[in-house]
Each structure stands twice: as structure tokens, then as C-alpha cells.
């Protein structure tokens, strides 16, 4: 485990991997099997602060939330938290500082390529604006961030006006959410978004229910006491899934899409959106060895297959508007294709 700084970390990591193996072998349809196989065979690369880049829109959020104005001090603070997060589980997105880009929109340059610029969270501009509008105009609007990691995206949403107490965030690793408080120098009191720890593939955390056709009879759940996403069936106005779906295989991606669809409010304008690695055509496994991660074996959709999945398979055909934008991310190693997408209820 050459990327670990000290022996205790190496031991922790070995135990961690063994635990993941045990979890994965309990017949759970867990993505951890694949991830773990990758990590144990190919140790992840060490952190590299040359990948650090804080663009103006993100810097504004970080400065305002942390109270740190000095760029060098802010960088040092962010690197400390990044290193702690990489020890929890070394996701490539942590190494490449995805969380620093999780605040605004992808910008598309004149050649049509994505720039990591002020992407800050894969926020697909029209869907993001729609989500904020729901927060302003809809009574009981709820924003769910699935696979939230530090919660950088919901920090940005709150910064832009979505009520923090109406935000629910969830992740397999609760340590990331705790580190989010450290990263943004907040507490559950100063940033009252509610966090639920759990495996999104575990039905006790998120079960599949058919898309709601009418507003649920059940009263609006009290977010702060939730331990599962299931009471939110039919209640969520905005679901954000950043760099989330590509962790899972094809069947799991369909399962998760169906599960998220069941959470979405039936009111027109309710939206699920996000971005993740894709393929320009067809669908299939992307195998990649890149400078910023280990060997990756990722199931990817194209715009066409992703649209077909949501409009016709997950939702009844014609009941949603699916928007997709497949762009090449030219300023990252290997220039991956990224699918930026949204699904809005009509």
C-alpha cells in the first residue's frame, strides 16, 4: 500500500478492504465487489497537489463558507481534508478534486469541449436553475443529493438560496459528510441539511416504488428524523446524482434509476439531474488506465441509451423530458466523455 503514509494507515486500509470484501460476499448486489477488485489489484495513485485548482466561482463559495480568504491557507486546509477523505476510500473523484468543481455549471468552450472550469458539481445549468426555482416556489420542496461525498454540491445549492433544512444528502461513507463539515467549517447547526448514511442498493435505505402518479397521501416527512430514504417516496422535488451512476454496473444503474424515480414528486417540473462518465455511442464497458486513477472498468451509457432508459423504461414514455449533453472533458487525463443529463417530470 505504497500510497499510504504510515503503517497504521496501511493496516486500516487492509482491514477496510477485508471488510468491504466480506460485505460484498454477503450476496449483496454491491458495487464494492468491482471497486474492491480494482483497488486491491491496482493500488490507487498517491495524491498529487498539482491537480489542485480552485476556480473563481468555487473559490467564492469556499471563502464565504470557511471564512478563509488567503489562497495558500485555503489550499492547505483543503489538502488536509482531501487526504483524510482518500484514506476513507480512495475514489478517483477525491484525488482529482471533483469536489472543488462541484458548485456551478460545466462550461463549454467554443470547440464544444467541457472545461473543468467552474463546473463545480456537474451542475447542468438549466436543471440547476429549475431546482433552485423549486426551492423558491414550491412549498415543501426537498433536494436529495445521492452519493454526496462531502456535500459540496448541496453547499452550493444552499449558497444559491435552496433552504439548507430542506436538503437531504446520503452516502455509503458517513465519514465523507463529517469531513464536509470540516471542509466548510460548519456544524449540523450552521448547515442543517440532513444526512443519511447507507448503501443506495440496500432496500431498507432505498427501495423501488413505481413513479408517483399523484401527490402522496402520506404527510410530508420530517426530514431531520429520517434514517432511510423510503419515507420520501413521491416527495422529492430535486434529485442530484453527481459522478454516481458510473460506479455501478448496467443492472444496478437501472435499479437505481427506478429507485430514484419512485422518490420524485409527480408535480410537473420535478427534476433528477447529474453527470457521469459516458460513451459517445452505444453503451458498454469503458476500460481506462489514466494518470488520475487506476484501471477502471466502468459501465457507460451514451445519450441515446440513457434517454431510452429514463423515457420508456423507468418512466412511462412521454411523461418526462430527458435532456442530455455528451461532451469530452479535454482538460482531464485521457479526455473522458461526460454525460450531463436531466429528467424532468411533465
The stretch among 75-83, 155-163, 184-192, 195-203 that binds ligand SAM (CB under 6 A) is 195-203
Shortest spacing between CB 134 and ligand SAM, in angstroms: 20
Which range, of 42-50, 71-79, 172-180, 337-345, touches ligand SAM by CB under 6 A? 172-180
Q: Confirm or reject binding of residue 168 to ligand SAM (CB under 6 A).
A: no
Instruction: Kindly state the smallest distance separating residue 122's Cβ from ligand SAM, in Å.
Output: 6
DSSP H helix total and E strand total for the chain = 10, 11
Q: Considering only residues 260 through 289, tell me which ones interact with ligand SAM, judged by CB under 6 A.
A: none
Binders of ligand SAM: how many residues, by CB under 6 A? Answer: 22
Helix (H, G, I), strand (E, B) or coil at 229: coil
**Among 54, 78, 229, 243, contact with ligand SAM (rule: CB under 6 A):** 243
CB atoms within 10 A of CB 55: 18
Task: Rule CB under 6 A: say whether 236 interacts with ligand SAM.
Answer: no
When the beta carbons of 73 and 251 are compared against ligand SAM, the nearer one is 251
CA-to-CA distance for 182 and 78, rounded, in angstroms? 9
138/130 Cα distance (integer angstroms) = 11
Residue 253 within binding range of ligand SAM, rule CB under 6 A:
no
For position 212 contacting ligand SAM by CB under 6 A, the verdict is no
With CB under 6 A as the contact rule, the residue among 47, 158, 201, 322 that binds ligand SAM is: 201
**Interface pick for ligand SAM out of 180, 199, 239, 298 (rule CB under 6 A):** 199
Q: Containing H/E element for 38? A: helix 32-41
Is 149 among the residues that bind ligand SAM (CB under 6 A)?
yes
CA angle 78, 36, 330 (to 5 degrees): 55
Report how far residue 29's alpha carbon sits from residue 26's, in angstroms, rounded to the nearest whole number.
9
User: Is 91 among the residues that bind ligand SAM (CB under 6 A)?
Assistant: yes
Q: Does 123 bind ligand SAM (CB under 6 A)?
A: no
Interaction of residue 90 with ligand SAM, rule CB under 6 A = no
Enclosing H/E stretch for 131: helix 125-137
Task: In angstroms, give the least distance from the CB of 53 to ligand SAM.
Answer: 15
Minimum gap (Å) between residue 11 Cβ and ligand SAM? 21
Establish if 103 lies at the interface with ligand SAM (CB under 6 A): no
Instruction: Find the shortest distance in angstroms from Cβ 139 to ligand SAM.
Output: 27
125-130, long-range: CB < 8 A, 24+ apart: 126/323, 126/342, 127/271, 127/273, 127/323, 127/342, 127/344, 128/157, 128/273, 130/238, 130/269, 130/271, 130/342, 130/344
Closer CB to ligand SAM, residue 244 or residue 315? 244
Q: Is 244 in the site for ligand SAM (CB under 6 A)?
A: yes
**171 binds ligand SAM per the rule CB under 6 A:** yes
Should residue 93 be labelled a site residue for ligand SAM when binding is judged by CB under 6 A?
Answer: yes
Q: What is the DSSP string of 163-183?
A: -GGGEEEEES-HHHHHHHHHH
Q: What angle do CA 203, 257, 207 make, to 5 degrees?
A: 15
Cβ-based nearer residue to ligand SAM, 159 or 319: 159
Nearest Cα neighbor of 91 from 172, 154, 155, 202 is: 172
Q: Is 98 in the site for ligand SAM (CB under 6 A)?
A: yes
- Rounded-to-integer distance, Cα 149 and Cα 94, Å: 9
Which three-class secondary structure state does DSSP give residue 261? helix
Angle at 175 between CA 182 and CA 65, to 5 degrees: 25
Among 44, 90, 180, 242, binds ligand SAM (CB under 6 A): 242
Short-list 321, 326, 336, 330, CA closest to 127: 321
Residues in touch with ligand SAM (CB under 6 A): 31, 91, 93, 98-99, 102, 121-122, 147-149, 171-173, 176, 199-201, 242-244, 247
Amino acid at each position: 500500500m505504497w500510497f499510504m503514509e504510515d503503517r497504521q494507515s496501511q493496516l486500516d486500509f487492509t482491514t477496510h478492504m477485508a471488510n468491504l470484501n466480506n460485505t460484498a460476499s454477503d450476496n449483496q448486489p454491491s458495487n464494492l465487489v468491482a471497486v474492491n477488485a480494482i483497488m486491491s489489484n491496482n493500488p490507487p495513485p498517491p495524491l498529487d497537489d498539482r491537480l489542485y485548482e480552485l476556480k473563481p466561482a468555487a473559490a467564492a463559495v469556499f471563502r464565504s463558507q470557511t471564512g478563509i480568504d488567503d489562497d495558500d491557507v485555503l489550499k492547505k486546509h483543503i489538502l488536509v481534508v482531501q487526504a483524510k477523505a482518500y484514506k476513507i476510500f480512495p475514489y478517483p473523484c477525491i484525488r482529482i478534486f471533483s469536489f472543488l468543481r462541484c458548485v456551478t455549471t460545466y462550461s463549454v468552450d467554443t470547440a464544444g469541449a467541457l472545461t473543468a472550469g467552474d463546473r463545480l458539481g456537474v451542475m447542468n445549468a438549466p436543471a440547476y436553475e429549475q431546482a433552485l426555482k423549486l426551492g423558491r416556489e414550491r412549498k415543501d420542496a426537498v433536494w436529495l443529493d445521492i452519493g454526496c461525498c462531502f456535500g459540496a454540491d448541496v453547499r452550493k445549492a444552499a449558497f444559491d438560496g435552496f433552504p439548507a433544512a430542506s436538503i437531504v444528502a446520503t452516502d455509503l461513507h458517513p465519514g465523507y459528510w463529517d469531513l464536509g463539515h470540516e471542509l466548510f467549517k460548519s456544524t449540523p447547526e450552521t448547515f442543517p441539511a440532513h444526512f443519511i448514511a447507507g448503501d443506495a442498493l440496500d432496500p431498507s435505505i432505498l427501495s423501488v416504488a413505481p413513479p408517483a402518479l399523484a401527490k402522496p397521501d402520506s404527510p410530508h416527512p420530517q426530514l431531520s428524523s429520517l434514517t432511510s430514504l423510503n419515507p420520501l417516496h413521491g416527495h422529492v422535488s430535486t434529485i442530484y446524482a453527481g459522478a454516481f451512476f458510473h460506479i455501478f454496473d448496467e443492472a444496478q444503474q437501472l435499479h437505481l434509476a427506478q429507485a430514484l424515480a419512485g422518490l420524485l414528486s409527480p408535480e410537473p417540473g420535478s427534476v433528477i439531474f447529474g453527470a457521469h462518465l459516458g460513451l459517445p455511442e452505444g453503451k458498454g464497458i469503458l476500460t481506462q488506465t489514466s494518470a488520475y486513477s487506476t484501471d477502471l472498468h466502468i459501465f457507460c451509457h451514451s445519450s441515446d441509451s440513457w434517454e431510452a432508459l429514463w423515457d420508456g423504461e423507468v418512466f412511462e414514455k412521454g411523461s418526462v423530458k430527458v435532456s442530455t449533453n455528451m461532451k469530452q472533458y479535454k482538460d482531464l487525463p485521457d479526455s473522458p466523455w461526460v454525460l450531463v443529463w436531466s429528467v424532468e417530470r411533465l
